[in-house]
Amino acid sequence: MLLLLPGLAANAQSKKKSSNGSSSSGSGYKTGIGLRGGGWSSGLTLKHFLGSGKGVAIEGLLTTEYKAHGGRLTILGEKHMGVADVKGLQFYYGAGFHAGAYQGRYYFADDRFYYDGRNGDVYLRRGKNGFYYTDSYYYDTNTYLAIGADLILGLEYKLPDLPFVVGVDYKPFFEVFHGYTGFYNDAAVSLRVTF
Protein backbone atom coordinates (compact mmCIF):
# COMPACT_ATOMS: atom_id res chain seq x y z
CA MET A 1 0.00 0.00 0.00
CA LEU A 2 2.79 2.43 0.88
CA LEU A 3 4.47 1.61 -2.44
CA LEU A 4 1.41 2.88 -4.37
CA LEU A 5 1.29 6.32 -2.70
CA PRO A 6 4.18 7.92 -4.69
CA GLY A 7 2.58 6.81 -7.97
CA LEU A 8 -0.85 8.17 -6.99
CA ALA A 9 0.66 11.46 -5.83
CA ALA A 10 2.58 11.88 -9.12
CA ASN A 11 -0.57 11.12 -11.14
CA ALA A 12 -2.66 13.64 -9.16
CA GLN A 13 0.08 16.27 -9.51
CA SER A 14 0.21 15.86 -13.31
CA LYS A 15 -3.61 16.14 -13.57
CA LYS A 16 -3.59 19.27 -11.43
CA LYS A 17 -0.85 20.82 -13.56
CA SER A 18 -2.62 20.05 -16.83
CA SER A 19 -5.94 21.44 -15.60
CA ASN A 20 -4.43 24.63 -14.17
CA GLY A 21 -1.62 25.22 -16.60
CA SER A 22 -3.47 25.13 -19.90
CA SER A 23 -6.92 25.28 -21.36
CA SER A 24 -8.50 22.35 -23.11
CA SER A 25 -7.70 24.04 -26.43
CA GLY A 26 -3.95 23.71 -25.93
CA SER A 27 -3.52 27.48 -26.09
CA GLY A 28 -2.16 27.65 -22.56
CA TYR A 29 -4.90 30.03 -21.40
CA LYS A 30 -8.67 30.39 -21.26
CA THR A 31 -9.16 34.19 -21.55
CA GLY A 32 -6.88 37.07 -22.55
CA ILE A 33 -7.41 40.83 -22.51
CA GLY A 34 -5.07 43.51 -23.82
CA LEU A 35 -4.18 45.97 -26.55
CA ARG A 36 -4.10 45.63 -30.34
CA GLY A 37 -2.10 48.16 -32.37
CA GLY A 38 -2.50 48.12 -36.13
CA GLY A 39 -1.86 50.06 -39.27
CA TRP A 40 -5.55 50.87 -39.79
CA SER A 41 -7.03 50.73 -36.28
CA SER A 42 -6.02 50.18 -32.67
CA GLY A 43 -7.77 49.47 -29.40
CA LEU A 44 -8.79 46.77 -26.95
CA THR A 45 -8.86 43.03 -27.61
CA LEU A 46 -10.59 40.31 -25.59
CA LYS A 47 -10.24 36.63 -26.54
CA HIS A 48 -12.03 33.76 -24.85
CA PHE A 49 -11.73 30.04 -25.65
CA LEU A 50 -14.93 28.04 -25.62
CA GLY A 51 -15.06 24.90 -23.51
CA SER A 52 -15.33 22.51 -26.47
CA GLY A 53 -11.63 21.57 -26.39
CA LYS A 54 -11.36 22.07 -30.16
CA GLY A 55 -9.37 25.32 -30.15
CA VAL A 56 -12.38 27.55 -30.89
CA ALA A 57 -12.28 31.11 -29.55
CA ILE A 58 -14.38 34.26 -29.73
CA GLU A 59 -12.46 37.54 -30.02
CA GLY A 60 -13.92 41.00 -29.53
CA LEU A 61 -12.17 44.17 -30.69
CA LEU A 62 -13.12 47.68 -29.62
CA THR A 63 -11.05 49.99 -31.84
CA THR A 64 -10.80 53.43 -33.31
CA GLU A 65 -9.08 54.50 -36.50
CA TYR A 66 -6.29 57.04 -36.47
CA LYS A 67 -8.09 59.64 -38.63
CA ALA A 68 -11.63 58.86 -37.48
CA HIS A 69 -13.83 60.49 -34.92
CA GLY A 70 -15.60 57.34 -33.78
CA GLY A 71 -15.05 53.66 -33.23
CA ARG A 72 -15.84 50.10 -34.21
CA LEU A 73 -16.87 46.90 -32.43
CA THR A 74 -15.71 43.69 -34.15
CA ILE A 75 -16.69 40.13 -33.19
CA LEU A 76 -14.63 37.25 -34.62
CA GLY A 77 -14.93 33.47 -34.40
CA GLU A 78 -11.50 31.84 -34.59
CA LYS A 79 -10.07 28.33 -34.95
CA HIS A 80 -6.67 27.78 -33.29
CA MET A 81 -4.17 25.05 -34.11
CA GLY A 82 -0.86 24.34 -32.42
CA VAL A 83 2.34 24.64 -34.44
CA ALA A 84 4.33 21.41 -34.30
CA ASP A 85 7.42 21.34 -32.08
CA VAL A 86 6.88 24.90 -30.74
CA LYS A 87 5.11 24.81 -27.39
CA GLY A 88 2.83 27.81 -26.88
CA LEU A 89 2.71 28.85 -30.57
CA GLN A 90 -0.70 28.81 -32.24
CA PHE A 91 -1.83 29.51 -35.82
CA TYR A 92 -5.41 30.74 -36.15
CA TYR A 93 -7.94 31.83 -38.74
CA GLY A 94 -11.49 33.05 -38.61
CA ALA A 95 -14.23 35.42 -39.71
CA GLY A 96 -16.73 37.82 -38.23
CA PHE A 97 -18.47 41.16 -38.57
CA HIS A 98 -18.23 44.71 -37.27
CA ALA A 99 -20.33 47.81 -36.70
CA GLY A 100 -19.20 51.32 -35.95
CA ALA A 101 -19.94 55.00 -36.26
CA TYR A 102 -17.68 57.73 -37.68
CA GLN A 103 -17.92 61.46 -38.06
CA GLY A 104 -17.45 62.67 -41.61
CA ARG A 105 -16.23 60.91 -44.73
CA TYR A 106 -12.57 60.95 -43.86
CA TYR A 107 -11.29 58.12 -46.01
CA PHE A 108 -13.46 58.41 -49.12
CA ALA A 109 -11.98 61.74 -50.22
CA ASP A 110 -10.21 60.20 -53.18
CA ASP A 111 -9.80 62.18 -56.40
CA ARG A 112 -9.64 58.97 -58.43
CA PHE A 113 -13.31 58.24 -57.77
CA TYR A 114 -15.20 61.12 -56.16
CA TYR A 115 -14.52 64.47 -57.80
CA ASP A 116 -17.96 65.86 -57.23
CA GLY A 117 -19.30 63.36 -54.75
CA ARG A 118 -22.74 61.83 -54.69
CA ASN A 119 -26.01 63.19 -53.41
CA GLY A 120 -24.61 66.71 -53.12
CA ASP A 121 -21.61 65.67 -50.98
CA VAL A 122 -18.35 67.52 -51.59
CA TYR A 123 -15.04 65.74 -51.12
CA LEU A 124 -12.42 67.82 -52.90
CA ARG A 125 -12.24 71.60 -53.14
CA ARG A 126 -11.86 73.36 -56.48
CA GLY A 127 -8.81 75.51 -57.03
CA LYS A 128 -8.16 78.26 -59.55
CA ASN A 129 -9.15 77.57 -63.16
CA GLY A 130 -11.40 74.70 -62.09
CA PHE A 131 -8.56 72.42 -60.95
CA TYR A 132 -8.93 70.25 -57.88
CA TYR A 133 -6.63 70.34 -54.89
CA THR A 134 -6.13 66.58 -54.77
CA ASP A 135 -4.47 66.69 -51.36
CA SER A 136 -7.36 68.52 -49.66
CA TYR A 137 -9.92 66.47 -47.77
CA TYR A 138 -13.39 67.57 -46.84
CA TYR A 139 -14.60 66.60 -43.38
CA ASP A 140 -18.27 66.96 -42.70
CA THR A 141 -19.74 66.99 -39.20
CA ASN A 142 -22.38 64.29 -39.62
CA THR A 143 -22.03 60.90 -37.93
CA TYR A 144 -22.47 57.84 -40.16
CA LEU A 145 -23.01 54.17 -39.36
CA ALA A 146 -20.54 51.65 -40.82
CA ILE A 147 -21.05 47.88 -41.00
CA GLY A 148 -18.99 45.14 -42.56
CA ALA A 149 -17.46 41.67 -42.62
CA ASP A 150 -13.99 40.64 -41.47
CA LEU A 151 -11.50 37.81 -42.00
CA ILE A 152 -8.47 37.13 -39.81
CA LEU A 153 -5.24 35.09 -40.02
CA GLY A 154 -2.73 35.15 -37.21
CA LEU A 155 -0.01 33.67 -35.02
CA GLU A 156 0.16 34.00 -31.26
CA TYR A 157 2.67 32.85 -28.69
CA LYS A 158 1.92 32.18 -25.01
CA LEU A 159 5.03 33.14 -23.06
CA PRO A 160 6.14 30.26 -20.85
CA ASP A 161 5.73 30.83 -17.10
CA LEU A 162 4.31 34.34 -17.71
CA PRO A 163 0.65 35.40 -18.04
CA PHE A 164 1.12 37.06 -21.46
CA VAL A 165 0.30 36.25 -25.08
CA VAL A 166 1.93 38.09 -27.99
CA GLY A 167 0.26 37.90 -31.39
CA VAL A 168 0.41 39.20 -34.94
CA ASP A 169 -2.50 39.11 -37.34
CA TYR A 170 -3.69 40.15 -40.78
CA LYS A 171 -7.36 41.24 -40.83
CA PRO A 172 -8.83 42.30 -44.19
CA PHE A 173 -12.34 43.69 -44.03
CA PHE A 174 -15.20 44.83 -46.24
CA GLU A 175 -17.23 47.85 -45.16
CA VAL A 176 -20.39 49.72 -46.14
CA PHE A 177 -20.24 53.36 -45.07
CA HIS A 178 -22.88 55.99 -45.97
CA GLY A 179 -23.79 54.21 -49.19
CA TYR A 180 -20.21 53.45 -50.27
CA THR A 181 -18.38 50.16 -50.10
CA GLY A 182 -14.70 49.43 -49.71
CA PHE A 183 -12.22 46.63 -49.05
CA TYR A 184 -9.37 47.38 -46.63
CA ASN A 185 -6.29 45.61 -45.27
CA ASP A 186 -5.27 45.77 -41.64
CA ALA A 187 -2.37 44.15 -39.81
CA ALA A 188 -1.65 44.41 -36.11
CA VAL A 189 0.37 43.32 -33.09
CA SER A 190 -1.44 42.33 -29.89
CA LEU A 191 -0.38 41.89 -26.29
CA ARG A 192 -2.82 40.23 -23.86
CA VAL A 193 -2.76 39.37 -20.18
CA THR A 194 -4.08 35.83 -19.72
CA PHE A 195 -6.34 34.28 -17.08
Question: Which of 16-30, 34-48, 63-77, 177-191 ranks highest by mean pLDDT?
Answer: 34-48
Which H helix or E strand runs over 89?
strand 89-103
Q: Which long-range contacts (CB under 8 A, 24 or more apart) does 124-132 make?
A: none
Give 193 or 127, the one with higher predicted confidence.
Answer: 193
pLDDT band at 13 (very low <50, low <70, confident <90, very high): very low
Annotate 65-96 with b (16+ C-beta within 10 A) or e (fewer): beebebebebebebebebeeeeebebebbbeb
Is pLDDT at 103 greater than 60 in this prediction? yes
pLDDT band at 171 (very low <50, low <70, confident <90, very high): very high
DSSP per-residue letters across 17-40: HHHHHS-TTSSS-SEEEEEEEESS
pLDDT band at 181 (very low <50, low <70, confident <90, very high): confident
pLDDT (average), residues 36-63: 93
Distance of CA 71 to the CA centre of its chain: 13
Q: Where are the alpha helices (DSSP H) in 79-150?
A: none
For a pLDDT cut of 70, what percent of the chain falls above it?
66
Is pLDDT at 90 greater than 70 in this prediction? yes
CA 173-102-40 angle, to 5 degrees, is: 40
Pairing of the two strands 164-170 and 173-177? unpaired
pTM above 0.75, yes or no: no
pLDDT (average), residues 163-186: 91
